[in-house]
Amino acid sequence: MSNNNNNSECKCSKCSSNSMGFVLVSTQTLRRHAQQDIVRQYQSGSSSSVIEVMSNDNDMEIDFEYNVDAEDQVEAEDLPLFGIDSLFDSESEDEGVIEATILDISDDESDDVREHFSSSNMPVDPTHAFIASFAAFFISKYVVNSGGAVLLKFLNEVLAHFGQSFRLPLSISGVNSMTVYKESDVVPECCNFERLSGRECGNALFFATSRALTIPKKIYISDAQRKRLERENGVRWSELHDLVYFNLVECTVIDPMHNLYLGTAKRIMEKWRSSGLITDAHLAEMQLDADKLVLPEDYTPLGTKIGRGFPFMKADEWKSWCLVYSPVLLRGCLPEAHLGNWTTFVNACQYLSMPSISMAHLDEAHQSLEAFCRECEKLYKAPFLSPNMHLHLHLRETVLNFGPVYGYWLFSFERCNATSTSTATSFQFDINAFLDSPEINFDIVKGNEPLPPSALPLALKGEISMDESKYEHLLEYYRETYDDQTLVHYHQAGHSDNFVNNQIQKFESINLLRQIYKSKTKNQRGSFMQALFETSDGRSTKSYAGQIQYLFVNTAVNSFAGHASQHVFAYVRWYKEVLLQPRAGEGVEVNEVGLEDDSMNSILPVHRICYPVAVGKHLGLEGEVQMCVVPLPQKIYI
């Protein structure tokens, strides 16, 4: 309310004490009284305000408390920004009341704030010192990239608006130099692979909220500071941090193809070559032995690359080197300590390269990789160790979180080898029973059990008569397997209906859950395998290596085999056993070059095939020629 003389009713704490409750004063006096009321309220110790900053769905509270000592207080009338001439001599006719918010900083936080500043280069004027300190501190904590320069320019325009001659530098480094602001030297702790949601990880880049969730702080200051933090901690800010269900560490998948084969396997060979552990003479010698090795169908042969120093090696070639070639060829070339450590790495790769893996094998693989890395530190010293080798120790968590490596390693992306097929069958296939057949139930498998859909339909050739000598072994197999000595030779079919048919149908290959086995051909690839048999004393089982001569189907013409009359077999010739196995710890079995005589054991149901193997002739320690056998992981896609 105003009178005709442009006077206004002032109801400040002094003017409202009369009987009317106000005094008519000029507009300028009204403003001055209102400002003085604010100053008096501040000096009387009014309660501090709390600024609450709301950020998206995260309630981030920043509480500032500062207990100002009486001796440090400055009269408001002495401060330029509170001066009447500088603050209220504007040409504007606005008559709104100015509201002030007073920031308070707690005692606990005040020490943290003070340690960043030094008063030696501060502006003499306390208000100017406060503005400069506020600008440096606020920009360092809450402003990213070019926002700091924009804020400094804005503050200078505010100072100019109120007639102040003081100006802030327009660069962040200039403000820091003016206030001698010191950034924290605390480096966040490195990854401890614990979940960031629901528990503390000890990393200074994160803080706990009232919802007991660990949320990242947005503390990046400038491009230079951001790059420094990235360089020191290996991470940068991402909006994905705001997803409380997304754990950046655990949700980062380690690709075993690059980690194991294109990473460590390649790096170790380069180290051996550069240090003289593997020479050109060694490579030439290894190439001669490599030419004698026969690999399974699904493993890539290296050709002449070993003798030429492993040029232009691809991931699947490094895989073949690790799992097939190196256990056989490195004996006699590397010192025992280096060979033993490499064997530990190969053992871990064997387990991790399986399409399915048990917890026991996963734990053994992890322990092997840990032992390998520790020994590398002794053999090759710290500079050889790389971050990629550190990731070996996180492969176990990766498998636990995301399953066996065949689900995400990059072989399938590069070769598109995960094509699935489906075949209608007239029977129900029990995957668990089939997986138990080679090792657990091998003694009760007959050969007429259901095959997996991947094996069907069999590409059968026309019926032929089985070789007479081999038929004798088939007849013996049926008698022993079905415990029926009344089965007779087909020559006696006219005297008894209980006879074994001699008609068979051969086929070239069979696909058992994506692991392919083949009949013997000129290149022999895919025909070598292993199967379990009981030892002669019947107390244990032992694996034997052999070569499939041909795959065939025999159909029972009577009821001795029950309702499923079609039997699927591999006719196998087995290598002679050697009792002493000097290289068992290296993953290499040694057999004689010669083959066992054919017997009933040559008739093997395909359900009992355990593993594919690589074989090759190799000179033993005493100069004798031996057949080396390297059992390999079976590819099983369930």
Q: Where do the domains of the chain lie?
A: 1-35, 126-178, 193-242, 256-417, 442-631
DSSP-assigned letter for residue 294:
B
- Give the confidence band of 564 by pLDDT, cuts at 50, 70, 90: low
Contacts of 132 (CB under 8 A, 6+ apart): 122, 123, 168, 175, 178, 179
Gap between the Cα atoms of 537 and 545, Å rounded: 20
DSSP H or E run through 510: strand 509-512
- Give the confidence band of 108 by pLDDT, cuts at 50, 70, 90: very low
Higher-confidence position of 205 and 325: 325
Average pLDDT over residues 431-438: 83
Residue 87 has pLDDT above 70, yes or no: no
Residue 73 has pLDDT above 80, yes or no: no
Residue 637 has pLDDT above 80, yes or no: no
Average pLDDT of every residue of the chain: 76
Residue 437 has pLDDT above 60, yes or no: yes
Q: 204-220: per-residue pLDDT in tens?
A: 444 444 444 444 444 44
Q: Which amino acid is at 581?
A: Q
- Give the confidence band of 558 by pLDDT, cuts at 50, 70, 90: low
Q: 25-48: per-residue pLDDT in tens?
A: 887 788 788 778 776 765 665 334
In the chain, DSSP finds a helix count (H) and a strand count (E) of 19, 17
Do 206 and 196 form a contact (C-beta atoms < 8 A)? yes
pTM assigned to the model: 0.56
Kindly report which listed range (373-387, 481-495, 499-513) carries the lowest average pLDDT score.
Answer: 481-495
Comparing C-alpha atoms, which of 234, 242, 236 is closest to residue 213?
A: 242
- What's the number of CA atoms in the CB half-sphere (13 Å) around residue 148? 28
Tell me which range, 89-93, 434-438, 506-510, is most confidently predicted by mean pLDDT.
506-510
What is the pLDDT at residue 181?
56
Higher-confidence position of 5 and 516: 516
